[in-house]
A and B are shown apart, each in its own frame.
Chain A
Amino acid sequence: DTGVSQNPRHKITKRGQNVTFRCDPISEHNRLYWYRQTLGQGPEFLTYFQNEAQLEKSRLLSDRFSAERPKGSFSTLEIQRTEQGDSAMYLCASSLTGAHEQYFGPGTRLTVT
């Protein structure tokens, strides 16, 4: 078990560009979560998947954000037309169905210039 992995670990992009992040959950974990953490704050919930179904989205997830988990394994989070306010750490977590404990990946740190 290698834990939750995320790629890339760091991303610097210019305002207006699109970016995509990938998360690979712990194998056999059916639930996958995305969170966003800004400087000095705790992570905030963005969205949640049960297998391939996206079951919950936060109001923080504007229409520029889209997340997918097409085969119920890895997930991608895309941000279109990035803004400076999107600069943050994007964290992915996973858990087993029937268990509440979540395990987090190392995060992708996005900087929008």
Chain B
Amino acid sequence: GIQVEQSPPDLILQEGANSTLRCNFSDSVNNLQWFHQNPWGQLINLFYIPSGTKQNGRLSATTVATERYSLLYISSSQTTDSGVYFCAVGMELTGGGNKLTFGTGTQLKVEL
């Protein structure tokens, strides 16, 4: 099956710092999503980005599908950004559904 690798596995930042999270995947995909999992386990949608670049406030993401990687940028980090960031890639299922395969995540801690 498809392999998804995220780096770094752990990251500690001072509040206000910038960071880049990376996601590499092993095969062509038709879906790529970035999620933030909060301490209660809720997966929060950040970006749906199978290709191209998107920005949402302090966050932005770029996916280069031909080279099979995606980047998530966090600028001016805040303590509320702490948590686990997951990249998930999708492949088509019977009937047009989409099976997401997740990476192992980047554990981010933002300190004052």
- A-side residues, CB < 8 A to B, are 31, 33, 35, 37, 40-45, 48, 50, 53, 55-56, 89, 91, 93, 95, 97-98, 100-104, 106-107, 109
Contacts and interface: CB of A to CB of B under 8 A. Distances in A.
Contact of B50 (A97, A100, A104): A100
Contacts of B90: 100
Given A42-B88, A42-B104, A106-B41, A56 B97 contact: yes
Interface residues of B, number: 28
A112 to B, nearest CB: 17
B45 interface: yes
Given A101-B31, A103-B45, A107-B42, A43 B100 contact: yes
A44 B90 CA distance: 12
A51 to B, nearest CB: 9
B93 interface: yes
Contacts of B4: 42
